Amino acid sequence: MPIRDAVEGDIEDICSMIEEHARYEGKNDLVLDRADMARHLFGPDPKAWVIIAEVDGVAAGMAFCSWNFSTWEAKPGIWLDDLFVRPDYRRLGLGTQLLKELKARTDGRVEWDMQEGNEKAAAFYAELGAEPVPGWVRYRWRG
Q: What are phi and psi of 55, to 5 degrees?
A: -130, 120
| Residue 125 is a catalytic residue | yes
pLDDT of residue 1: 65
Average pLDDT for the chain: 93
| pLDDT tens profile 102-132 | 999 999 999 999 888 888 888 989 998 888 8
CB 94 within 8 A of CB 85: yes
pTM, to two decimals? 0.91
The H or E element that residue 140 is part of is none
Q: Please identify every stretch of the chain with a pLDDT value under 50, giving residue numbers as ranges.
A: none
Which CATH code for domain 3-127? 3.40.630.30
How many CA atoms are closer than 13 Å to the CA of 47, on its beta-carbon side?
6
How many CA atoms are closer than 13 Å to the CA of 76, on its beta-carbon side?
8
In the chain, where the domains are located: 3-127
CB 1 within 8 A of CB 94: yes
